[in-house]
Chain A
Amino acid sequence: MRSLAFIAVFVTGALLLYGTRDFPAWGDPAAPAAQHVSPTYIEKSVEQTHVPNIVTAVLGDYRGYDTMFETVVIYCAGIVVIGALRNWRDEE
């Protein structure tokens, strides 16, 4: 069973490494991921939002939904931990 699991992990890892062969190089400006919205953010974000840090502009403004529900997820996790672990003493 252990050798079977090892073979499965090894084959998956080899497939993943094989899949990275035709990836673009690191920081390649002609990569598909750098073609669509990245130039717009780099050119327009300072004049559209007056925020010099592009990461903050994208996280807070252009991708606001993402950050909002990230906060909601963290809040829900905290509520669940409080509900599961805390012993409520009787106040009366």
Chain B
Amino acid sequence: MMWPLDLLILALVVVCAVVTISIRDLLAATMVFSVYSFLMCLLWAEMGAVDVSFTEATVGAGVSTVLFIAAILRTTRRSKD
């Protein structure tokens, strides 16, 4: 466990989370959320939980992004608030 790498990934995770909830464009928010999932995957892998990391990479960064984009293309891209 290398703490500088941990600290870097954690800082990026926090930045991505704040950007995801504050951005207006829902498509951009989805992409930033995908980056958030991938950073969480890196964090799990770095902590030694390889199975969790694998699930996060496939479900969080892969399929859920595609499902969000499909839902956005069928509804609206602008956030109301």
Contacts and interface: CB of A to CB of B under 8 A. Distances in A.
Q: Verify whether A and B have any Cβ pair under 8 Å.
A: yes
B60 to A, nearest CB: 15
B51 to A, nearest CB: 5
A55 B51 contact: yes
Interface string B40-57: 000000011001000000
Nearest to B1: A26
A26 B51 contact: no
A27 interface: yes
Interface in B1-54: 1, 47-48, 51
Interface of A: 26-27, 55
5 contacts: A26-B1, A26-B47, A27-B1, A27-B48, A55-B51
